[in-house]
């Protein structure tokens, strides 16, 4: 191994190690500031110590224009969903404090990440390319989860579902474009897609889970679109295996969309993992229940419902219904519990009516929870 390649490998590993360790160390500051403080010096070191560069594609201007226009259209379409999900006052609208603590660090993070990515990919080395991909995924996860230190199960699930999976998908697109057309299209695309939320007075009320799903699917579609427009398509012998791969990709995307729709509860049906033994018998710990969102349906004694108790959703059975002055009061109980739940539920507390049980499907989630909490 020559000196240049050894330098490349050492720097690639250091990049990843520093960012990955930041996920587990509770420094007590914003993760965006922490990420910026790590990434900017790393970008300078990468640019100065890794010397080799390569020429860009002749289509770089066209790709820059395409990705910028698509990013603007994406923002417009996302905002238009507010017509369905309602609009709310944007709590992230930029002010002096947010400009200094959030917007400027994000600009530095995006620029630094893309410099590191471009320099590494310019070497056409598989190991360096793989390590910089991991580095960029961790960087995006650290930045947009706004977590410094994984301190509990809820933090972990936020990191995995809302940030890590979208980061894996998005960085596949960024890698593809940066390697072929340079870092300018990626920087422009990321700036628009990331910073728009801080400059609009209103935001859509779309659930985070559904937005996460869109962020997983959209980069895959964008990658295919760029490849179809600018890459020469050659006929290959293995058409059958290619078709199988596309079919699997479509199935995987459809599954992700379905799960996001269920978890978000923005549509007719939702899903919930059973985390306790209170309903053991018909519904057991580790099962997943599919419930229909409650609107005006009639609820009868014996119906299993999902209701809110402070910030927790509980799945218990209705055992008694009283009508007090025109107000329906629902008394609930877990099948395995000895007594009734404390108090009663009213219509505003009810989230949904349980229709389907999927046995054991939720066990992986519970295992991760127990692993982190212990």
Q: Are 158 and 145 a contacting pair, CB within 8 Å?
A: yes
Q: What pLDDT sits at residue 263? A: 57
Q: What pLDDT sits at residue 251? A: 58
Q: Tell me: the pLDDT tens digits for 225-279?
A: 888 887 754 344 344 445 555 555 555 556 655 665 555 555 677 788 888 899 9
Alpha-carbon gap, residue 139 to 128, rounded angstroms: 16
Give the model's confidence band at 12: pLDDT under 50 very low, under 70 low, under 90 confident, else very high: confident
pTM of the model: 0.67
- Whether 372 shows a pLDDT value over 60: the answer reads no
Non-local (6+) Cβ contacts of 318 within 8 A are 299, 300, 301, 302, 303, 304, 305, 330, 331, 332
Q: Could you say which DSSP state residue 345 is in?
A: B
Alpha-carbon gap, residue 357 to 331, rounded angstroms: 22
- Coil vs helix vs strand at 232: coil
Give the model's confidence band at 148: pLDDT under 50 very low, under 70 low, under 90 confident, else very high: very low
User: Would you tell me the crossing angle of helices 126-145 and 165-181 to the nearest 10 degrees?
Assistant: 130
Strand partners, 321: 330
Closest CA to 115 of 68, 174, 167, 62: 174
- Whether 305 shows a pLDDT value over 70: the answer reads yes
Q: What pLDDT sits at residue 187? A: 95
Closest CA to 94 of 27, 178, 194, 229: 194
Q: Are 274 and 365 a contacting pair, CB within 8 Å?
A: no
Alpha-carbon gap, residue 109 to 101, rounded angstroms: 12
Q: Which whole number is the average pLDDT over 46-71?
A: 80
Q: How far is CA 222 from the centre of its chain?
A: 17
Q: What would the two tokens of residue 74 be?
A: 């994406």
Closest CA to 297 of 335, 350, 357: 350
Q: Are 93 and 198 a contacting pair, CB within 8 Å?
A: yes
Q: What would the two tokens of residue 9 be?
A: 């490998």
Q: Tell me: the pLDDT tens digits for 69-114?
A: 999 999 988 888 887 778 888 888 888 888 988 899 999 999 999 9
Q: What pLDDT sits at residue 156? A: 57
- Whether 36 shows a pLDDT value over 60: the answer reads yes
Q: What pLDDT sits at residue 238? A: 43
Q: Tell me: the pLDDT tens digits for 151-170?
A: 555 555 556 667 788 888 89
Non-local (6+) Cβ contacts of 62 within 8 A are 230
Q: Tell me: the pLDDT tens digits for 200-215?
A: 888 888 877 778 778 8
Interior CA angle at 371 toward 269 and 356, to 5°? 20
Q: What pLDDT sits at residue 237? A: 38
Q: Are 165 and 39 a contacting pair, CB within 8 Å?
A: no
Alpha-carbon gap, residue 318 to 305, rounded angstroms: 7
């Amino acid at each position: 191994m020559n000196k240049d390649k050894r330098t490349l490998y050492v720097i690639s590993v250091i990049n990843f190690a520093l960012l990955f360790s930041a996920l587990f160390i509770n420094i007590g500051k914003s993760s965006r500031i922490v990420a910026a403080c790590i990434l900017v010096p790393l970008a300078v070191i990468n640019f100065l110590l890794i010397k080799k560069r390569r020429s860009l594609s002749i289509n770089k201007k066209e790709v820059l224009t395409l990705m910028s226009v698509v990013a603007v259209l994406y923002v417009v379409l996302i905002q238009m969903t507010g017509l369905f999900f309602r609009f709310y006052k944007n709590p992230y609208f930029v002010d002096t404090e947010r400009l200094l603590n959030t917007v400027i660090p994000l600009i530095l993070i995006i620029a630094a990440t893309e410099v590191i990515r471009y320099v590494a990919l310019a070497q056409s080395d598989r190991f360096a390319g793989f390590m910089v991909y991991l580095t960029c995924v961790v960087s995006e996860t650290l930045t947009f989860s706004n977590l410094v230190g994984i301190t509990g199960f809820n933090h972990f699930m936020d990191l995995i579902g809302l940030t890590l999976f979208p980061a894996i998908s998005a960085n596949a697109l960024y890698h593809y474009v940066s390697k072929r057309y340079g870092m300018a299209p990626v920087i422009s695309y990321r700036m628009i897609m990331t910073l728009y939320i801080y400059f609009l007075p209103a935001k859509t009320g779309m659930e985070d889970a559904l937005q996460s799903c869109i962020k997983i699917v959209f980069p895959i579609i964008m990658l295919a679109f760029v490849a179809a427009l600018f890459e020469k398509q050659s006929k290959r012998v293995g058409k059958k295996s290619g078709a199988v791969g596309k079919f699997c990709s479509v199935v995987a995307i459809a599954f992700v969309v379905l799960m996001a729709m269920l978890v978000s509860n923005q549509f007719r049906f939702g899903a919930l993992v059973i985390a306790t033994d209170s309903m053991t018998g018909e519904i057991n710990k580790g099962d997943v229940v599919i419930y229909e969102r409650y609107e005006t349906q009639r609820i009868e004694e014996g119906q299993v419902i999902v209701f809110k108790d402070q910030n927790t959703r509980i799945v218990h059975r209705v055992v008694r219904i009283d009508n007090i002055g025109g107000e329906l009061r629902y008394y609930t109980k877990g099948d395995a519990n000895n007594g009734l739940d404390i108090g009663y539920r009213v219509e505003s507390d009810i989230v949904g009516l349980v229709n389907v049980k999927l046995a054991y499907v939720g066990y992986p989630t519970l295992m991760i929870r127990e692993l982190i909490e212990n």
